[in-house]
């Protein structure tokens, strides 16, 4: 035992739990705030935590001096930090869902605003959309249909009917926005002030609707979080049972100690 203690004294001291909590809280922040962008990261974090659990146990048992036991009734200020991150996560994930992906806009909002109408009707040479002119379709850009709404968000050089070789400067290596750099740019071959105004109005409708969708998603997440929080006990049942058992044992020991003290006092009084 003395040899083992001597060897352990040569090991570095345990510096405390700050670094351990810090890494876990940072990891929780990344998972909670950005899981909507990469959902699989939650599973990856769980796997790494299981591995790190055993690695930390080995580190404390074999690579560091045995730390002194210090009792605690919680994790201190880390709890407040985790709570703040969990509330911020609701807003951040709702923003990610609404504004970093086009799926919600193209698959839900635009079909709703356009009424799901199909593009059609007679179109003259003056009001044929750029897509219709390129693809040989008889579609007017003024038609209130899903395709025309989506075209306001197209990219020059990113669509077959908007070839970069025709509408972008020679040597251009990136796409440009059809609305800002085409329809509404006087120097562009795609410039059309009337179509620009109509697309501007449609984009405003989409922006307002997306804002309401964001508010709706955020409220649903907040209500869900509150319901889960109310339905879950603050302490697990086994913790409550252990605390009650410890309290019972404490009262029992105190009662036995008082009885022994009373017997000693009575015996001393008789001896006197």
- DSSP per-residue codes, 217-235: HHHHHHHHHHHHHHHS-SS
Same domain, 89 and 113: no
Give the mean model confidence (pLDDT) for residues 89-93. Answer: 90
- In order of 9, 106, 158, 262, the CA distances from 183 in angstroms are 76, 20, 15, 97
Would you say residue 125 has pLDDT above 60?
no
Give the mean model confidence (pLDDT) for residues 19-42. Answer: 88
* Number of domains observed in the structure of the chain: 2
Same domain, 97 and 110: no
Residue-range definition of the domain harbouring residue 146: 103-153+192-215
- Structural domain contains residue 86: yes
Give the count of beta carbons closer than 10 Å to the beta carbon of residue 119: 21
Same domain, 57 and 132: no
- Structural domain contains residue 54: yes
Q: What pLDDT shows up at residue 145?
A: 85
Here the contacts of 105-110 (C-beta below 8 Å, separation 24 or greater) are 105/153, 105/206, 105/210, 106/150, 106/153, 108/213, 109/206, 109/209, 109/210, 109/213, 110/146, 110/149, 110/150, 110/206
Same domain, 125 and 197: yes
Q: Can you tell me the distance from the alpha carbon of 82 to that of 178, in angstroms, rounded to the nearest whole number?
A: 43
Q: How far is CA 230 from the centre of its chain?
A: 21
- Structural domain contains residue 233: no
Closest CA to 154 of 202, 208, 212: 202
Give the mean model confidence (pLDDT) for residues 101-109. Answer: 89
Q: Which two tokens stand for residue 97?
A: 């869902």
Same domain, 58 and 114: no
Across the strands, what pairs with 159?
162
Same domain, 62 and 134: no
- Structural domain contains residue 200: yes
Percent of the chain with pLDDT strictly greater than 90:
33
The confidence band for 16, taking pLDDT boundaries of 50, 70 and 90, is confident
Q: Which helix (H) or strand (E) holds 134?
A: helix 130-135
Same domain, 30 and 61: yes
Q: Can you tell me the distance from the alpha carbon of 180 to that of 110, in angstroms, rounded to the nearest whole number?
A: 19
Same domain, 110 and 97: no
Q: Can you tell me the distance from the alpha carbon of 253 to that of 189, in angstroms, rounded to the nearest whole number?
A: 92
Count each helix (H run) and each strand (E run) in the chain, helices first: 12, 2
Would you say residue 241 has pLDDT above 80?
yes
Q: What pLDDT shows up at residue 234?
A: 77
Same domain, 198 and 97: no
- Structural domain contains residue 174: no
Give the mean model confidence (pLDDT) for residues 207-220. Answer: 94
Same domain, 96 and 133: no
Would you say residue 124 has pLDDT above 70?
no
Q: What pLDDT shows up at residue 102?
A: 87
- Structural domain contains residue 251: no
Stronger pLDDT, 138 or 224, i.e. the higher one: 224
Lowest mean pLDDT among 17-26, 70-79, 184-193: 70-79
- Structural domain contains residue 205: yes
- Structural domain contains residue 62: yes
Q: Which helix (H) or strand (E) holds 60?
A: none
Q: Can you tell me the distance from the alpha carbon of 17 to that of 52, in angstroms, rounded to the nearest whole number?
A: 14
Q: Can you tell me the distance from the alpha carbon of 179 to that of 191, in angstroms, rounded to the nearest whole number?
A: 9
Same domain, 94 and 121: no
- In order of 24, 93, 246, the CA distances from 42 in angstroms are 13, 14, 36
Same domain, 97 and 58: yes
What SS3 state is found at 236?
Answer: coil
């Amino acid at each position: 035992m003395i040899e083992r203690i001597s060897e352990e004294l040569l090991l570095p001291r345990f510096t405390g739990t700050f670094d351990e909590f810090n890494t876990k809280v940072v990891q929780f922040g990344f998972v909670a705030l950005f899981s909507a962008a990469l959902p699989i990261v939650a599973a990856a974090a769980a796997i790494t935590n299981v591995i790190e659990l055993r690695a930390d146990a080995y580190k404390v048992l074999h690579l560091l001096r045995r730390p002194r036991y210090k009792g605690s009734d919680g994790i201190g200020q880390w709890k407040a930090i985790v709570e703040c991150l969990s509330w911020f996560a609701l807003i951040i994930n709702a923003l990610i869902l609404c504004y970093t992906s086009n799926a919600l806009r193209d698959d839900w909002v635009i079909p709703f605003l356009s009424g799901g109408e199909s593009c059609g009707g007679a179109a003259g040479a003056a009001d044929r959309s750029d897509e219709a002119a390129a693809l040989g379709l008889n579609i007017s850009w003024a038609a209130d249909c899903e395709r025309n709404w989506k075209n306001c968000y197209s990219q020059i050089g990113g669509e077959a009917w908007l070839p970069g070789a025709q509408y972008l400067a020679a040597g251009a290596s990136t796409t440009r926005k059809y609305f800002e750099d085409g329809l509404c740019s006087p120097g562009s071959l795609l410039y059309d002030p009337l179509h620009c105004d109509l697309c501007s109005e449609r984009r405003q409708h989409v922006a307002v609707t997306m804002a309401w969708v964001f508010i709706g998603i955020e409220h649903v997440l907040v209500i869900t979080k509150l319901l889960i929080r109310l339905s879950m006990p603050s302490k697990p049942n086994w913790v409550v049972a252990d605390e009650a058992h410890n309290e019972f044992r404490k009262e029992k020991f105190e009662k036995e100690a008082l009885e022994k003290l009373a017997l000693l006092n009575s015996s001393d009084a008789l001896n006197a």
